[in-house]
Structure 1
Amino acid sequence: MHSHIPEPLRALVEQLSRLPGLGPKSAMRVAMTLLKWPEAETRRLGQGIHDLRDQLHLCSRCGGLSSSDPCAICNDPSRSRDTLCLVTEWDSMLTLDEGGFYHGQYLILGGLLAPLERMDSESLDLDRLVRRLEEGEVRELILALGATLEAENTASFLKTLVRKRFPHIRISRLAQGIPLGAEVKYMDRETLRQSLQYRQDI
């Protein structure tokens, strides 16, 4: 970075360039845009980022982002407590729930097994999953992990883990209307609805 750039601007650009999809040049463009905004707008953005850390936390039941604990979905008495849909990330849960065709509970696994990316079983939220299953309410665990190789490996690992400790729980997966290599969060509503409706035991 150019040596004549003022230190506050340099520090901001370095921070912005850590965001996904922003390199140093893009970060500089963002920083320069922020400098052109009215002061009240930039202060509101800064306050919003600050409040994000203070007011959002992980739901103790599902692991999703929420301003309350438990979150609104976990706290909804109308939702069935005997089905638990396992998704990789929070945005996959949002995509499934927006469809309005699933009325059970969720749990966010936090990723998939991917040894090349150093994602092993220690990286997954297996403790939360085991605690939920130990409560004894869940009768069916639905694996909504996608159709990638990593998803298949993770499903196989989870099937072994759950069958060993909770043999009475039915384990199913979304029907294979999902294209190979696809992630749940990118699926259209109708494909997801049919995949969930015609889910298969594994």
Structure 2
Amino acid sequence: MADFIKIYPQNPNPKDVKKVVDILKKGGVIIYPSDTVYALGCDINNTRALEKVAQIRGVKLEKANFSFVCRDLSNLSDYVKQIDTATFKLLKRALPGPYTFILPGNNNLPTVFKKKKEVGIRVPDNSIVQAIIEGLGNPIISTSIRDEDEVIEYTTDPELIYEKWQHLVDAVIDGGYGDNVASTVIDLTGDEPIVVREGKGSLEI
């Protein structure tokens, strides 16, 4: 049974944040709020936890398109090939914010992602997930949780999320109602930015 941990975005309680960080360090899987929808996440460096997330999503780990959720752009060079000034300026303008940027991956990607040529980078504008990543000391991976309801694509109520997912994950963080619009996905691997999915993030960046 998962822990249900209430964390207030205005002032995340360090004790509660530490509880979540400890769960992640032990290979746990969490559901957490972002600046868009609630998402599944785990420590990017824990293969067992990554496999569990892939299993929950019903995908093969090596084929999974998980985003790397970073606290800021300082982690970028750990996973992404060197980018030009224009690309960096675009990222700086847009992040933190409701965007996923697809960038060319480098050779330092965690073992399970070694074959990937590109990686999705997220820096959510959400104090809860930022505090968790800071406590953990490295990014977490992320994949949105979807609702079976055809009208509502994403569940926004953390209590309903807990009800549904409590036996599949190790913790659900209640950070208040989530959004039901996913991030805007922009591919920056070519000469020009390409919008892969229009979501919450404005295209005027």
Which structure has greater strand proportion? 2
Give the number of the structure with larger relative contact order, counting CA–CA contacts within 8 Å between residues 6 or more apart.
2
TM-score over 0.5 for the pair: no
Which structure has greater helix proportion? 1
Q: TM-score, normalised by structure 1?
A: 0.27
